[in-house]
Amino acid sequence: MRRPLIAGNWKMNGTKADAEELIRSIIAGVFEMRKVDVAVCPPFPYLFIAEQMLAGTAIGWGSQDVSREEGGAFTGQVSAAMLKDFGCRYAIVGHSERRQFNGETDAIIGRKYAQAMASGVVPILCVGETLEEREQGKTEEVVASHIDGVLNLAGVEAYGHGVVAYEPVWAIGTGVTATPDQAQEVHAFLRERIANKNKEIAEGLRILYGGSMKPGNAAELIGQPDIDGGLIGGASLKAADFVAICQAGEDNA
Ligand code: PGA
């Protein structure tokens, strides 16, 4: 049985004071949950707040990106080893906003995934199609290529050390959520693709859904057989909403 994971992707939002307040409320809200893994991914400068406030709690923290390089002359980048040093359990890689605004390709993202893994940080690989790609019937082709980026570089074993998040681009920040059936179909496809290489790794892999997940739809989405939690954007900035989604994960465990 896969343990659900609910991770908050704060993106580039909030102040130091907001981060403290949000983390304080989340600690209080999820305190008694035992069956769900919870994590927050604040902007880089606020990682130290997460480290200070969350050390000793069951809540993990992670970054929203990581360098594909190990270290050295790469101005502005943050290495996986540095994240590990900050106690990060997770690193989001390949978010569609980075694919779109930072020109990240599957090859680059594969290297980021491998860097995180090598440092003992769990990569959360985001995959997902745009609306245009869905309408052209290309959903499976697109998410397969996102999955294969890591498979080609690091082999199927890499999926024994990471998490996948299916995030249809048309559902991110739009208020439009994939229906539970639509999401389940893609999750099952992703798991099957990895199962073709290694069944056991596929069975153990957590595949999260992301894209306008909120308290009102979380339970039904997480209730699907191949949906193992959520990567939450907008709703992760509101403590009450995020805690309610964590509760849905706890109840579905
Ligand atoms: P959203 O974002 O929940 O605001 O749609 C999800 C994400 O981008 O990870």
| 122-163 pLDDT, tens digit each | 999 999 999 999 999 999 999 999 999 999 999 999 999 999
Predicted local distance difference test score (pLDDT) of residue 159: 98
Q: Atom 6 (ligand 1): residue with closest C-alpha?
A: 233
Quick check: CB of 42 below 6 Å from ligand 1? no
Residue 96 Cα: closest atom of ligand 1: 8
Mean pLDDT of 153-177: 95
Is residue 161 flagged as an active site residue? Answer: no
Q: Atom 1 (ligand 1): residue with closest C-alpha?
A: 233
How many residues are there in the chain? 253
Query: So where are the chain's domains?
Result: 5-251
Q: What is the dihedral of CA 133, 137, 143, 145, to 10 degrees?
A: -90
- Structure tokens, 210: 């992301």
Predicted local distance difference test score (pLDDT) of residue 1: 78
Domain 5-251, CATH: 3.20.20.70
Is residue 95 flagged as an active site residue? Answer: yes
Helix, strand, coil content of the chain in percent (nearest 5): 50, 15, 35
Angle at 110 between CA 98 and CA 105, to 5 degrees: 45
